[in-house]
Amino acid sequence: MNFKIAVLAGDGIGPEISKVGVDVMNAVCKKFGHQVTYEYAICGADAIDKVGDPFPDETFQTCMRADAVLFSAVGDPKFDNDPTAKVRPEQGLLAMRKKLGLYANIRPMQTFKSLLHKSPLKAELVDGADFITIRELTGGMYFGEKYQDNEKAYDTNFYSRPEIERILKVGFEYARKRNHHLTIVDKANVLASSRLWRQIGQEMAALYPDVKTDFMYVDNASMRMIQEPKFFDVIVTENTFGDILTDESSCISGSMGLLPSASTGEHTPVFEPVHGSWPQAKGLNIANPLAQILSDAMMFEYFDLKAEGALIREAVDASIEANVRTPEIQVEGGTKYGTKEVGEWIVDYIEKSI
């Protein structure tokens, strides 16, 4: 297969983990006889500094020409600490999602046996936890009408029936591929938009009789995720709730540096780690590249190249078992490998695999 990949490294630790992601993808493509070419583009704070736009049109066109986007992270403290800034790195991320029509964010949460001790939850609660959160990505408050002055502000949480139906369909279809259990998360006891979500969810549940469908308020879901994470199989929810719940779920595994994601929809899909740009670690060679590497696996699997994805996951598991780990997940007294060294170990594992 021939791949054309757009690479958006972004800010902070983005360029470091992006390089590892590209190296791993090259190794897998060589192993399986695929051809891959890359086109690099700017985004986030880097793009603001260079052209004044966090997602310039040239970057958008690069994404549209590609089969997939390998994205890393955006964000910079100089914007975080300036509430008056009119242009922010994160606006580039929102623009990318909107322009590419990426309405479905797929975030798997899995645990690793040898890292259960790193989870803030008891091992018996998280051992075997494995669920996917599907977050609606282009609607709701993040994209609704906004207003702010010195005295008042508002954000509009707008959703239409077609927006809700298409994301719920993704949820039901994923549940069918897994354990046939879908949890639709809303706040229907308070919010009108959530009541529409629940109404449409009930209508669509009748079309998927093989899927056990339950409905849960977001506050209950956030507690249940901590108390009983193994309850969930597939979760689907709106943009704001999904943003919060996926960050919460990412901590269960023991490190945000372990979890990848995919954003899919109308145009080019985007594959990225769930963590942010961690600017404090920029250039220090300590960022965990595993989420970026596992994003490669999701990319191959998106194109139904299951063996390629499986090899990446095998290599990641092997690196963890061999204690080839960055500092935040290393065992006490273990060698602290850097971003680059973990990447090199995994590439070597792939190259030597039979």
Q: In this structure, are residues 54 and 91 in contact, taking their beta carbons and an 8 Å threshold? A: yes
Query: Does residue 187 have an active-site annotation?
Result: yes
Measured between alpha carbons, how far is 160 from 99 in angstroms, rounded to an integer? 18
Q: Point out the catalytic residue in the list 53, 103, 142, 208.
A: 142
Q: Point out the catalytic residue in the list 11, 76, 118, 187.
A: 187
Query: Does residue 155 have an active-site annotation?
Result: no
Measured between alpha carbons, how far is 315 from 31 in angstroms, rounded to an integer? 13
CA angle at residue 250 from 93 to 219, to 5 degrees?
95
Q: Point out the catalytic residue in the list 247, 282, 302, 340.
A: 247
What does each C-alpha distance from 1 to 27, 30, 74 come to in angstroms? 14, 11, 30
Query: Does residue 219 have an active-site annotation?
Result: yes
Q: Point out the catalytic residue in the list 57, 82, 219, 317.
A: 219
Q: In this structure, are residues 256 and 250 in contact, taking their beta carbons and an 8 Å threshold? A: yes
Give the SS3 label for residue 104: strand
Query: Does residue 154 have an active-site annotation?
Result: no
DSSP sequence for 290-326: HHHHHHHHHHHHHTT-HHHHHHHHHHHHHHHHTT-B-
Q: Point out the catalytic residue in the list 80, 130, 155, 243.
A: 243
What phi, psi does 240 have (nearest 5°)?
-65, -50
Query: Does residue 142 have an active-site annotation?
Result: yes
Name the residues annotated as catalytic: 142, 187, 219, 243, 247
